[in-house]
Every structure is written in structure tokens, then in C-alpha cells.
Structure 1
Amino acid sequence: MIRILLFSGLFTVIITAVQLSLNYQKETEELQTISQQLAETNAPSLARALWELNATKANDIGIYLMRIGLFKSITIKNENGDTMVFLGEKDIEAHQTSIKLQFEYSGRTGTVGTFEYQIVTDIVKRKIKDDFIIILISQFIKTFFVSIFILFIIHKLVIRHLNEISNWLNNFKPESSFSPLALEADKGSSNEMVKLKSAISEMGQQVHKHSTGLEKVVAERTAELEKLAYTDSLTGVTNRGAFLQAANEELNRSRRLSYDVGVMMLDLDHFKAINDTYGHDAGDKVLKQVSQAMANCLRKEDTLGRIGGEEFAVITPGADKRGMHKLASRLQQAIAILNFSFLPDNKNITVSIGYTKVSNDEDFKAALKRADEHLYTAKASGRNTFITDKGFLPRIVS
């Protein structure tokens, strides 16, 4: 608003100055024309007065001309250049006009002197100054009200809508619930602004829609990546890295809360023969069903992991020798009853198991290695059995 008024005021001053400059030049030229006509009209009388050497008459003519009010100064000189009459105040910066005074005597015309004068421009300057102030004030008032009117129209038709759009964009967050941009239009509102607001609102809705969809896709992809990072892709159970991490966390928790942790190592018997005889697809099917059968035998707090190939491991918090013995038996039975169409009727899948309890001051990998040693002892003992520490053998109740 202030900038517009300042620009309008500056523009008004420039236009007014140019206009008054032209007026000043025009009125000055008019004064010069009138003064020249007066000088030429009185030149014969002045020439006679100089011829007659009548300084009084020349002075009277000069006084008469000065009283008209157009002359600032008048100088009458004889033919020798001597000043006979000087009236008024001479301005060294003002323009001076000189007319030769000629007199005809006995059929001969000769120059008897000169008439020099300067016109009064102060009147014109004062008039121009007064006009400048009046025009400037009137133009400023007109410019002010015209600017106010134009700004009001612009605000009503454009700026108000732009402010609404700006506020809406500042508050727009793709992840938040979508609130469309208001499209109400007052009488006389620009259809283009309504279309612009509608287009921006539609754009915001599309951005919100895509943002919401993108967040969903990102969440799904993140879940998939997390699953890939912690889960065995074939069987769906915990992979080796995630299993070891879960085991260490469980071991640290058990030492804080003072409970035992057991670990089992399991290996499918003759699995290589299944792959070689029936193909890897059959082997994958065995691994999937065996993993599911083992998972169904475990408690919620137990953790099953695929260590590699046909080897699996189980973490059992709060383990005692009887509970781990029963779990080993249950795992063997669950695997033994699985049916596979590609196997003969009299053949089923068996598993060898080695298990142990993790000591309080023992590293988990050391306990896992000991369980693995028991596993290979079980396989060397004829397979389809389970082995544990000598001091950890439970008393079996039939």
C-alpha cells in the first residue's frame, strides 16, 4: 500500500513538473511577445526624444512602460552608448532585449540610440509555484483515492484469495487428514481465482493421496525388509543372525531375573539323501513342514531358528532337565508323524537332538557349541535320538 502511494506520488510530481515547465516556457514567451510589441510601439517616441535630446520626455515614456508591470528594467542610451534613462532593477542573470531607435529626418533614417529592457518573470514564477502546489495537492488526493479504490478491488478479487491459498498451503501437511481449500466465491469474484483455488485444492488432495499411499508402501516394504533381516526366507522361522541376537538378549534377561536358559540343536536325519533322491523341491517341502511342526510344539517364549541347511536350534527360557527332555520327545514325535507323498509308506522323517543348559557365567556360543557336540554324538549313536550333558539326564517316568 505505502509503496504504491509513494510510486503514485513520485509519478504525479514528475508529470506535474513537466507540465508546469511547459507552462512556464509558454507564458514567458507570451510576456516577451507583449513586451516586444510595447517596446516597438513606443520606439518612435523614444527616438524623437533622443533626437531632440529631451531626456525628460524619454524618462516619462520609460516610467509609463514600467507602470504597465511587464518590465523589470529599462535602459535608454543615446547613439554614443551613454545612458540617458535607467529605470527598475537590472538582473544580470535575466535575458535582456535590445531595440535600435531610429529617427527619420530630411528623408534620411539614422540610429539615434538603443532601448534595452528586461521583462518581469517573477510573476510567472510565483504563478507556476502556486499552480504547482495546487496541482500537486489535487493530483495527490485523486491518486490516493484512486489507489485506495484499485487496492480494494484487487484485494477483493485477487489478494484475499491469494492469502487464503497461502494460509492453506502453509497449514497443508500431506501426512495429516486432508481438508480441501474453501471455494466460496463472492459476487464479482474472479472465475480464474476460483479455478486456481480449485486446482490447488485438487493438487493437495492428490499429494495427500499419494503421500498416504507412499507411507503405506513404505511401511509394507519396511516390514518386508525387517522380516527378511530376521526371518529365514524358506521356512519363515528366525534366521541365524536374529536367533543369536535373541539368544543373547534372553541370556542377559535370565541373569537379571535369575532363571535358567536351555538350548537345543536339531538336525534332520538323512536329509541329503532326500535332496539327492527326490530333488531340492522335495527337500524344501520337508524343511517347511518340519519347521511348522516344531514351531507348533514350542511355547510363546521359546525361539526357533534355522542355523543352516537342515540344522535348527531352540532357546528355552526357564528350562529344567525334565521339561527339555519332554520337549525333545515331543519334537521327535511331531516330526515323525509328518506325511510326504514322495516318501514310501514305511519311511518317515527323523531328527537327532543335542541339548544343554547355559551356565550363568557362560557365553551363549559356548553353550551352543556344546549342544552341537551332543547333536553329533546323537547322530553317531544311530540318529533319531537326543543327547544331553551327563549330569543333566532327567529321570524318565513311564
Structure 2
Amino acid sequence: MTEERRMMQEAAREFTMNEVLPVANKLDPEQGDIPMSLRDKLAEMGYFGILIPEQYGGAGLGSFEYCLVTEELSRGWMSVASLIARGNSLIGSHAMNEEQRGRYLSRMAKGEFLGAFSMSEPNTGSDVASLSCRAKKDGDSYLITGNKYWCTFADGADFLILMARTSEMDPKARHKGISMFIIEKKRGELPPGCSGASIPKIGYFGWKTWELAFDNCRVPAENLIGEEGQAFYYATRGLETARAHTAARAIGLARGALEDATQYAQERRQFDRPISDFQAIRFKLADMATEIEAARQLMYFVCDQIDTGQRCDKEASMAKLFASEMAERVTSEGIQIFGGAGYTKLHAVERHWRDARLTKIFEGTSEIQKRIISDRLLGRN
């Protein structure tokens, strides 16, 4: 840990405790949206441009710095830690041509142009190659038709990155023929030719997650990202950073539960003493702290591998798997230490628990991570 990184970490921690946590404690119980004022403050801190090259107005830093900031933000509210990815590392941005990068990246780095990613469909989740949404060439445009699901921030974003099939599916190579598009839109609205409804969730509040229906939504051909038919490769490149980011989010949630439970255990008295005096509670806190630190060190290793250009797909899956499974256990233990108080909305530990559960699902389920790890160990079967 360099001095520069430590200073960045401390600044993010202070920002989270002063700016993020109070907003989360107020709005999450109400299922309110992250306010524009907080988005502006994130932009002022430079958090939307950590990974964006300096030539486009970003900081030009690496995954290590990105995940340091992410852990701190997630300690306050995971949704805010997720929001910064809508500028930094939205899937597909690396495949933009130079004209697109010049047009979009500087605005993304400033937080002025944030995106949502639209890949999943009602019948397509982990099996990305099975998607059926179509993009049909029509003159100098494409017409998008089909349904999408699990598109978080579809309304609040300034653009969507969407994956759609531009040629018929080949049963022997289902991943081919899928293309990627930028759909620019007005913030607060869905694009013309697109309707939708928000999905009722049990957590991950602060923004809405949408099911979308595209009906001849027109997209200029110049908004095709990369080459036609190559989107599957674009979507799967750079997953190491995305998985490290999710590990950081999980670690932040677990740390929130640990810190809150530690404070509560010292304040809560039973049998004429703080419950932190009891070995059962002390050992729970010790286990929680140990698991968090183990996940953090694995994440740091993966970030170093990414930043030095080393292959780490197996290790990135390990970090995501271990951190997300750990976060659910640790946040659940946090609730146990709070007792009945933990099963109320009067304390943030229940939010950490609800959001931790999601980290085992998005960015590749725990089962998908185990498949990746085992394939690297044993080969594909």
C-alpha cells in the first residue's frame, strides 16, 4: 500500500461517512433514489474517472485504486459504490473507436454522461449466448426489437449499452452474431421506442432496475461499438476488473456490518455488562474480521495482477466468489449480534445483509465462478 493509495483510501472513507452514509440511512428505508447532489459530489471527487485515461480527462489509475474507493463507498451504500462503475468501466467502453472515445469518455469521467448496461433478458441470464433481442439494419440505422431484463439505472442514465443479435443464431456457435450499441437518451426517460417497468426488489435501492421492451427503437449505425457480431467477446473481456469491483463491494458491506456490530456490542448491556465481554460475541467479531481481511488481501492480489497485465481470470473468480459468500455470512452474523434490533430497519446492518445477498448473484453467480475456477483446474468437460 503506497502513501498515495492510503491517502486516497482515507479521503474516500471520510467522504463516505460524511456524505454517503447519512443519505443511505435516510433513503434506503424509503427506497428513494440516489440524489443528484450526491452524484455531483462523487464527480467532484473524481470517482467516475478513476480508470479513464488521462487524455480523456480521467485519472488514469488502476484497478487497485478503483477497488480501494469502491470498498469505502460500499461501506456506506453499495448502490453508490456501483454507481461509479457507470462512468469508469461500463462493459464495452474499451471497444469504442477513437471517435466514440473522444465523444463520450471525457463526459463520463466528469460524471456528466453515465450509462446503464442492457444484456440480460427474461430467458437469458448466465447463458449470454442465448440472447434473442434483435437489431435489424435499416439504412444508416439499426432497429432494436425485443425484451431486456435486469437493466439497473435505465431511467437515470444518459445512455444504454445494449447487446442485440444482428444475425441468425448458429446453434453450433451461439455466441457469434451478437452486436453492441450505444443508445443515447434523455436522463430520467427511456429511449424512444422503448417502454418498461421497474422490477420490485428486496434491496439494492437508490436506483431502479428495469424490464424493457424495445419496439423498433432506432439507433444510428455510427453507434455500433466495435465490429458487428463481436459483442460476446467485448462483454467477456475485462471481467476481471468487474469481479474485483464486486469483491470490493462485498468487502465494504461486510466491513459495515463488522463496524456497526462492534460498536453495538460495546454499547448493548445484558447481565450487567456489555455483550462485548462475552466470549461468544468476541469470537464472532474475530471470525468476521478475519474473513474480511482474507477477502481483502485476495482482492488486492487480483488488482495487482490486473494492473501489471497478468492473467488472473481464475483468481478474479476466486476473489468474487470468496468475498461475496463471506459478505453474506458476515452480515448475517452482524444481525445476530444485534439480536432483535438487527431485524428492524432501525439499523443499517439489515441493509448490508440484503445487499450482500445480491453480490452472490450479479457479475456472475457463485456457481458460475466455481465453474470458471474448476475449468481452469481440470479443463472444460
Q: Which has the higher helix share?
A: 1
Query: TM-score, normalising length from structure 2?
Result: 0.21
Structure number with the bigger relative contact order (C-alpha 8 A, sep ≥ 6) is 2
> How high is the TM-score relative to the length of structure 1?
0.20
Structure showing greater radius of gyration is 1
